Amino acid sequence: MAHVMLTFLGRVAKDAGTYRKTCYDFRDGIQEEPVAFFGWPLQRRLQPDRLVILGTAGSMWDHLFEGDFDFLSASEDDRLALQDAVEGQCVERIHLEPLVPLLAERLGCEVVLDLIPYCRDTAEQVQLLDIMAGHVGEEDKVNLDVTHGFRHLPMVALLAALQLQTMRRAKIAGIWYGAYDPDTGDAPVYNLDGLLHIAEWLQALHTYEKDGDYGVFAPLLGPAGEQLARAAFFERTSNVVKAREALNGWASREDQIPTDDPAAALFGDELKKRISWYRAPDRAARERALARLYLDWGDYVRAAIYGQESAITAEASRVGANINNYDEREEARARLRENPAFRSLGQLRNALAHGILSPTQKWAKRSIGNPEKLAAELEKLFKQLH
């Protein structure tokens, strides 16, 4: 696991024959020297193991060697060749490779200079993501600097950060931007990792909307998330009693939705709505609510299971039996086998779970062969039972 810093090199306008220099303000009271390339002060502070500088064939590669730094030991031929290539916007690796050791020696870390496309279309944007991923190893720590380069690169870099988290399990430590206010001359430095955090919430919301598993929010909720994850686990393993206990515990916490996380507030109401089933007055009502929730999510197996369990709970309650006792629930189940809707629901559940149907169960075969028919059949059976 290495610490990698990825930064972009742009092509900027020259003022009076030189690139504009700025004193970047990290807002920690430490005065920085004026530089044109934000990557240098950021590298000094972060001290990565590997610095990867990405630029196009027209980026200001020559400035790396004759702007903020002046490498007198560099070959004059190499420097002139690079300068000519920058002016012609035709830089190739052959122009960069001779100068890499000079940067590595000056900075005290591994340095990689790599060419990227202009990201003008989807193919080039995907190519950039692939290039960035190629410089990051499994579980590396990564800092992204999006200060320089084209205006649209920060958006691509955000996607790259998400990709690296997913494909490389990388830890994105920061997404950095050195701003500049031409009116005041101020150049504050911002860490935009909050955007990545919002993107993580959006990813979790997308997953949740797919299957209704609110456990995906748990890693984003801090200490309270563990209780929420337990509730989701018990709910999805049909243990409604344990799930409700965990949700009660989570709901009683003052930190159930972190107050210091603005992104969490955006999604807190949706989460509370999703778990509102646990507030139903009795177990049968809670199981009915879950049956309909899973039916809405298209999780037909769990919908059928909770539909059956709600009927069993209601029947056990009707005769004063212990609804939490296995044997007494089995007695209620046996009585319900006289109910045609309960029998049909059981057959449908078995067909969904095992894929095996009796030749006489043609109605069930028709139902599981079509999502609309299956949802309608489950809805009809729920109404008959409840």
Q: Does residue 74 have a pLDDT over 70?
A: no
Report pLDDT for 344.
92
Report pLDDT for 16.
44
Contacts 24+ apart (CB under 8 A), 364-370: none
Parse the chain into domains and list their residue ranges: 3-191, 201-279, 283-385
Average pLDDT over the chain reads 89
Report how far apart, in Å, the C-alpha atoms of 125 and of each of 76, 119, 307, 384 are: 35, 5, 48, 54
- CA-based nearest residue to 217, from 271, 164, 258, 177: 271
Which DSSP state fits 67?
T
Give me the CATH code for the 3-191 domain, please. 3.40.50
Q: Does residue 62 have a pLDDT over 90?
A: no
- Longest Cα separation, the chain: 96
Task: Report, as an integer, the average pLDDT of 160-183.
Answer: 89
| Band of pLDDT at residue 66, cut at 50, 70 and 90 | confident
Report pLDDT for 175.
92
Size (the chain), residues: 386
Phi-psi region of 32 (alpha: psi -120 to 50; beta: other; left: phi over 0): beta
- CA-based nearest residue to 99, from 119, 118, 122, 83: 83
Residue-wise pLDDT for 80-103, tens only, equals 898 899 889 999 999 999 889 989
Q: Is the dihedral of CA 196, 199, 205, 209 positive or negative?
A: negative
Residue-wise pLDDT for 11-37, tens only, equals 766 554 455 788 999 999 888 889 888
Residue-wise pLDDT for 267-312, tens only, equals 788 888 889 999 999 999 999 999 999 999 999 999 999 999 999 9
**Which pair of structure tokens corresponds to residue 143?**
């800092």
Share of the chain above pLDDT 90, in %: 57
**Which pair of structure tokens corresponds to residue 132?**
């960035």
Report pLDDT for 3.
98
Q: What are the φ and ψ backbone dihedral angles of 48, each rounded to 5 degrees?
A: -70, 160
DSSP H stretches of helix in 319-357? 326-336, 340-354
Q: Which of 14-23, 91-100, 142-151, 154-163 has the lowest mean pLDDT?
A: 14-23
